[in-house]
Structure 1
Amino acid sequence: MTRAAKVVVAGSILIALTLLAGSTSAPAPGRPTAPVMVPVAGLVSFDSCADALTELRAAAREAVGPYGFEGGTLLSTRAVAAEGGALGKGEPGGSAPPDHSTTNNHEAGADEPDVVKTDGRRIVTVTGGALRVIDPASRRVTGRLDLPGEKAGAYWGSYRLLLLGDRALVLAEGTPFIAMDRSRPGPSTEAARLFLVGLTGAPALIGTYRIEGSLLDGRLTGTTARVVIRSAPRLEFPYDVDGSDRTRTRQNRAVIDHAGIESWLPEYEWTAGNERHTGRVDCDRLSRPERMTGTSILTVLSFDLGTDRLGDGDPVSVAADATTVYGTPNSLYLAGQQPSRKPGLLRWLPRVRDQVTEIFQFDTGGPGRPRYLASGAVPGWLINQYALSEWDGHLRVATTLGEVWGEAGDSESTVRVLRRQGGALVPVGGVDGLGRGERIYSVRYLGPVAYVVTFRQTDPLYSLDLSDPTAPRMTGELKITGYSAYLHPLPDGRLLGVGQEADGQGRTEGVQVSLFDVRDPNRPTRLDQWHLPGGWSAAEYDPHAFLHWPATGLVVLPVDAGVRLLRVDADKISEIGQVTHPVTTSGRARLRPVVHRALMIGDILWTVSDAGLRACDPVTARSLDWIPNT
């Protein structure tokens, strides 16, 4: 095998991927070796609805087992809820905004949905079934909109929003979808909902959108919001209590054999004022990879937030199983595990050789519907979207392959560099052998450099030089106890890690923040550490919960129910103090609201919970005001 990864053509494009070495005493990380041939997951359009139905049925028949899809989860009928509406009027916002923080996004120019947004003139939150607008200057709630069909007790995170000028797009998860075609049999399914809200004055509902499926993620680039929906086929499987697994599987396959194409194509409706429109994704908008399960449809919707209506979202759908969305200003990537070739429910328990991540790239550089560009496949699985990075015409992908837990410990991690060649994302180089017997906990790419944390008992922080995509290399390694689950770049060659401290056997001991010096890629070092025994932080799994204010070195970290204020300078981490929200009473119970987010506007720190917002002095952590949700 040559130094670069091989590309072979044999009926369809194939990519050279690697096997595990399977030993913790293997050589140091190096280039991928021992090729395994795995097909590139290119997308193919269906010739007709009849063709689509035939292929979807065939794939679903293979995937179904005695208890339905997805490792034994039956699709069942759910209760149906009605939706109402609300409108409001008010006054426009003020003049030029002060300096303010923004959502902690993965990539600049690709805004991600979150539960709070600010433009410096206003703070917009979506909690408890309502959108609220807060004026940070007067420190009061200036507007509230109860979202249609929602309840005040809705849990944190079931709503997210994107903000553009005087428009907010609220993304809501999971209520039952009522089929527009009342004659169509089958269960009601989950529906993702979108609300377009005008903020010129009191918040007012401009339009709504509902589609069968669950909300996966979204991105805002320019004035275009793209929302990714994942839907399951609308099938109702019987359950024969006295039947054998073989009998139940046969009955489920009979249901699939009698299902029409409408059982797979998501149905939607949208409103604008008094208008109401319904539709369904067309067969000519649906494509498929080489292998599919027939159990999942991904739909990308596009909305221009500069207009007064959502429209039909100009949907594009793929019959794939992706679960990770990664976006840049010009590309949208959908990534997930490729279906195993094993039959029935065994496909959901893939062997090491079947652990393959397939990736689909779409062009989002202009407004409107995204254009499919290319597909690729790499061995292993992703930790999250931070495992992906587009830079200088290449896509970098970090994956873990193998069994992490148990005595075998045959896992290892790899960073591969892919380049688009025609309709394929082709590997041109890679570094493997990272963290043998461990798995990836965090990844951060900073231009031509990558940092990867793996963990089982100790935390190796690897630094990688990716400046030559055909010859990437591991340049440094730092072993410390614990791990970093999120890595954040700081000025002057510093890197901040948020995760857990651990003992020598890998048992976690509480939240820690580590300050790394990575100016010398050959010798990364830890300069300082902040540790709270027994503590935990949502920033470990949700980077939106992390705030860094470079002007003063302020770091705000949710820890347990409150937030901790830290100051990070060139070589030291010091604690400023803690901010909590007032205790609330529910019946006889007294509850401390969990503070989920923090943001800066001017020289004021704002913290957000379900109960309200608190304004604080970021220098002393002293409370300046409390604004309860109303």
Structure 2
Amino acid sequence: MGLALAAGLALVTGCTAEPAPAPPPDRGVPAGGFRLVAFDSCAEALRQLKTAASAYVGPWGFGPNGDALAFGSAERAAPAAAGAADAASTAAAPGYSGTNRHEAGADEPDLVKTDGRRIVTVQHGTLYVVDPATRRLTGELDLTPGADQFGGVEDALLLHGDRALVLRRDGWAGRFQPAVSEGGGRVVDAPAPDGIVGPQLIMVDLSGQPKIIGEYRIDGNLVDARQVGTTVRVVVRSAPRLNFPHRERATDEQRTTANREIIDNATADDWLPRYEVTSGGRTSAGRVGCDRVSRPAVYSGTSLVTVLSFDLGAAALGAGDPVTVIADGDTVYSNGPRLYVANDQRWRVLPILTARNIAPDPRDETTEIYQFDITGTGAPRYVAAASVSGWLVNQYAMSKWDGHLRVATTSGRTWGDRPNSTSSVYVLRADGTALTQVGKVTGLGKGERIYAVRFVAGTGYVVTFRQTDPLYTVDLRDPGAPKVTGELKINGYSAYLHPVGEGRLLGVGQEASGQGRIQGTQISLFDVSSPAKPTRVAQYHVRQGHSEAEFDPHAFLYWPAERLVVVPLTAHGTGRPSNVAVALRAGDGGFTEVGTVDHTSDTGGPEGLTPIRRSLVVDGVLWTVSAGGLKATSLSTMKTLGWLPTA
């Protein structure tokens, strides 16, 4: 259980810590607000963590089935733009595109990056550097020699000048090793107690042949990261490294008592994240200090969120200048000056509720949001926090504009024969150390859930779906009185929305029958110039198709100079290779198919085996990226200009 949060948060350094109220194991938001405070000492921090965790632990460990360390999914789809400036976020500079991102002022890690001078991609533990001018592979670096590079873990990177920072998800706080149960009973899994198990950050010098100049590893799982200028903020979620073995011949009460004894014998080293820094051939180890940790008034002690800061312009990575909160976190959003970390309780409550086919308790339906000031290059400064009802679909459900944070959520049961869900948009404003609600719109999509959100300046676009797809337009120009101004009902849904010019909005999702049965990828062009009467002016539909852009907006490319839309597409029985990137021109009246790109004929493998993952534009050339390599295609003729295999 993450921290249970209500609005009204104050960071009070050095204040007297009071005993942590023990949260009930099946409830979320406390009746009142809370304060975020520092601990008096490490001994006091450990005492309070034990008190909180002991109240929450059960016969099977943390969580309803002893699986709290699984944390839900850290790789939830990370979405893309918000605000008028965000419409051009894929056009990072004249002549080349960046990879798709939510806000123009905050870059996001992805499997490929370009600055116009070079293209850098990381695939299966190997980093490749491409010169787009000569269309040659100019550098290759094995990031972890001798390691298994095909474990299903995807790497990502950030780029600045001659430095690349690779973020490897090659470990997580819930990694397990066998633990023998009592009395020779069945063998169960338990968290590995020794060694740092978590994300690895690798700084690479690209000035010549790429070489590693620094490494950093920390306990936990990588949630996400954002880059502003040379500064990178990395958000990591961790758990106490406690081993709760299965006891075959014990009652639940005996198991819980034994688990509390394990907690009582734990040390600060079992709770606080450890890290290792390697630079210049030397490795140093450390641990997040108790003075770096803050807590709210109500928390479970089962998870911590740490924000790390690294300077890509520095000679070494350093220790990350950590800031830690005893909380959970699974969604990161930043507009540049501010960083928001949000978490909800779905991983904790939904397995039980779905199994019992019951609606969630409103006190469990909360999303907690922390706001940090990241305008400087030092450690983030905590600013404010809030709690809103409902759950986020992804980071695109948050947007900062004109001094206000807009948040879209879904509450209620979305499953079963009688769903009672509904969606809302909240408007929050920083008031001291609290993000205070100043306005809201509720009642969107009854019985449905949010599939996509996009905020463009003072307007919000919300897609909900169960059988049909209402596209709602929400007027947010008056933060204290937001209102729904229009609604468009069509079959299917959009899972990602992107502004493509004045009064135009593009959606990528699925077509569906009148009964809600999906029927393949659809790309829709909406006319939203009249907020009261949004209309769909064009549709591109591929039966039995699906696109990675539906769940990961990094796979989407919009090149404003050509009004060009490029998305990866997988479909069978269409008369074309089963995996392609389709390029469309979004005109005022509809779509024109410019062409398709495939990576099948050059890889030598079976037809359609290599899905295209990403697309970039550099100096009039469309670059597509797959696990097999990179292909250069002329934007004017759609003819192949070069193929660089990486497999």
Normalising by the residue count of structure 1, what TM-score does the alignment of the two structures yield? 0.86
Aligned to 2:86: none
CA contact (8 A) 2:323 2:379 kept: yes
SS at match of 2:199: strand
Aligned to 1:82: none
Aligned to 2:646: 629
Aligned to 1:81: none
CA distance in structure 2 between the partners assigned to 1:43 and 1:148 by the alignment: 39
Question: Displacement, 1:73?
Answer: 4.6
CA distance in structure 2 between the partners assigned to 1:176 and 1:141 by the alignment: 33
Aligned to 2:410: 400
Candidates 289, 309, 320, aligned match of 1:282: 289
Aligned to 2:201: 194
After superposition, the Cα gap between the structure-2 partners of 1:106 and 1:125, relative to the gap in structure 1 and judged at 3 Å, is same
After superposition, the Cα gap between the structure-2 partners of 1:532 and 1:176, relative to the gap in structure 1 and judged at 3 Å, is closer
CA contact (8 A) 1:42 1:424 kept: no
After superposition, the Cα gap between the structure-2 partners of 1:533 and 1:323, relative to the gap in structure 1 and judged at 3 Å, is same
**Could you list the per-position Cα deviations for residues 576-607 of structure 1 after superposition, in whole angstroms to 9, with x for gaps in the alignment?**
22211136889x97771111000000111000
Aligned to 2:565: 555
Map 1:290-439; keep pairs closer than 5 Å: 290-337=297-344, 350-439=360-449
CA distance in structure 1 between the partners assigned to 2:547 and 2:362 by the alignment: 32
1:235 aligns with 2:253: no
CA contact (8 A) 2:354 2:415 kept: no
CA contact (8 A) 2:6 2:34 kept: no
SS at match of 1:251: helix
CA contact (8 A) 1:14 1:38 kept: no
1:440 aligns with 2:455: no
1:45 aligns with 2:45: no
CA distance in structure 2 between the partners assigned to 1:474 and 1:621 by the alignment: 42
Question: Displacement, 1:462?
Answer: 0.4
Aligned to 1:59: 52
Candidates 63, 72, 77, aligned match of 2:65: 72
Aligned to 1:137: 133
* Amino acid corresponding to residue 191 of structure 1 in structure 2: G
Candidates 567, 585, 590, aligned match of 2:585: 567
* Amino acid corresponding to residue 206 of structure 2 in structure 1: L
CA contact (8 A) 2:98 2:114 kept: yes
Candidates 270, 273, 276, aligned match of 1:269: 276
**Could you list the per-position Cα deviations for residues 510-531 of structure 1 after superposition, in whole angstroms to 9, with x for gaps in the alignment?**
0100000001111101000000
Greater Cα offset, 212-221 or 404-413: 404-413
1:494 aligns with 2:504: yes
Question: Displacement, 1:282?
Answer: 0.3
After superposition, the Cα gap between the structure-2 partners of 1:61 and 1:504, relative to the gap in structure 1 and judged at 3 Å, is same
Question: Displacement, 1:457?
Answer: 0.6
After superposition, the Cα gap between the structure-2 partners of 1:510 and 1:370, relative to the gap in structure 1 and judged at 3 Å, is same
Question: Displacement, 1:620?
Answer: 4.2
Question: Displacement, 1:338?
Answer: 5.6
Question: Displacement, 1:156?
Answer: 6.6
Question: Displacement, 1:244?
Answer: 3.1
CA distance in structure 1 between the partners assigned to 2:635 and 2:34 by the alignment: 49
SS at match of 1:174: coil
CA distance in structure 1 between the partners assigned to 2:47 and 2:567 by the alignment: 51
SS at match of 2:600: coil
SS at match of 1:60: helix
Greater Cα offset, 303-312 or 53-62: 53-62
**Could you list the per-position Cα deviations for residues 70-107 of structure 1 after superposition, in whole angstroms to 9, with x for gaps in the alignment?**
44255899xxxxxxxxxxxxxxxxxxx97100021101
Aligned to 1:107: 103
Question: Displacement, 1:254?
Answer: 1.8
Question: Displacement, 1:64?
Answer: 2.4
Map 1:605-620; keep pairs closer than 5 Å: 605-620=622-637
Aligned to 2:491: 481
CA contact (8 A) 2:528 2:535 kept: yes
CA distance in structure 2 between the partners assigned to 1:42 and 1:608 by the alignment: 47
Question: Displacement, 1:204?
Answer: 1.2
CA distance in structure 2 between the partners assigned to 1:528 and 1:176 by the alignment: 44
Aligned to 2:163: 167
SS at match of 1:190: coil
CA contact (8 A) 2:496 2:553 kept: yes
CA distance in structure 2 between the partners assigned to 1:37 and 1:419 by the alignment: 21
SS at match of 1:539: helix
After superposition, the Cα gap between the structure-2 partners of 1:621 and 1:244, relative to the gap in structure 1 and judged at 3 Å, is farther
Question: Displacement, 1:252?
Answer: 1.9
**Could you list the per-position Cα deviations for residues 316-374 of structure 1 after superposition, in whole angstroms to 9, with x for gaps in the alignment?**
111101111111110111101269999x9999995233211111100001111000001
1:524 aligns with 2:524: no
Question: Displacement, 1:495?
Answer: 0.1
Greater Cα offset, 618-627 or 161-170: 618-627
CA distance in structure 1 between the partners assigned to 2:105 and 2:587 by the alignment: 27
1:463 aligns with 2:467: no
After superposition, the Cα gap between the structure-2 partners of 1:619 and 1:140, relative to the gap in structure 1 and judged at 3 Å, is same
Question: Displacement, 1:619?
Answer: 3.9
SS at match of 2:253: helix
* Amino acid corresponding to residue 237 of structure 1 in structure 2: F
1:116 aligns with 2:112: yes
Question: Displacement, 1:406?
Answer: 1.4
Q: Tell me the number of residue pairs that the alignment of Structure 1 and Structure 2 aligns.
A: 573
After superposition, the Cα gap between the structure-2 partners of 1:406 and 1:340, relative to the gap in structure 1 and judged at 3 Å, is closer
SS at match of 1:291: coil
CA contact (8 A) 1:584 1:591 kept: no
Greater Cα offset, 558-567 or 358-367: 558-567
**Could you list the per-position Cα deviations for residues 235-273 of structure 1 after superposition, in whole angstroms to 9, with x for gaps in the alignment?**
111111233333322222221111111111000010111
Greater Cα offset, 308-317 or 284-293: 284-293
**Could you list the per-position Cα deviations for residues 522-541 of structure 1 after superposition, in whole angstroms to 9, with x for gaps in the alignment?**
11010000000110011111
Question: Displacement, 1:210?
Answer: 0.6
CA contact (8 A) 1:475 1:522 kept: yes
Normalising by the residue count of structure 2, what TM-score does the alignment of the two structures yield? 0.84
CA distance in structure 2 between the partners assigned to 1:438 and 1:431 by the alignment: 16
Question: Displacement, 1:153?
Answer: 3.7
CA distance in structure 2 between the partners assigned to 1:280 and 1:76 by the alignment: 20
Aligned to 1:533: 543
CA distance in structure 2 between the partners assigned to 1:126 and 1:62 by the alignment: 44
**5+ long unaligned stretches in structure 2:** 9-28, 71-92, 174-191, 571-578
CA distance in structure 1 between the partners assigned to 2:149 and 2:391 by the alignment: 36
RMSD of aligned alpha carbons = 2.8
Candidates 617, 620, 628, aligned match of 1:603: 620
After superposition, the Cα gap between the structure-2 partners of 1:548 and 1:340, relative to the gap in structure 1 and judged at 3 Å, is closer
After superposition, the Cα gap between the structure-2 partners of 1:515 and 1:340, relative to the gap in structure 1 and judged at 3 Å, is closer
Aligned to 1:509: 519
CA distance in structure 1 between the partners assigned to 2:534 and 2:639 by the alignment: 36
* Amino acid corresponding to residue 380 of structure 1 in structure 2: G
CA distance in structure 1 between the partners assigned to 2:60 and 2:206 by the alignment: 47
Question: Displacement, 1:175?
Answer: 3.3
Aligned to 1:90: none
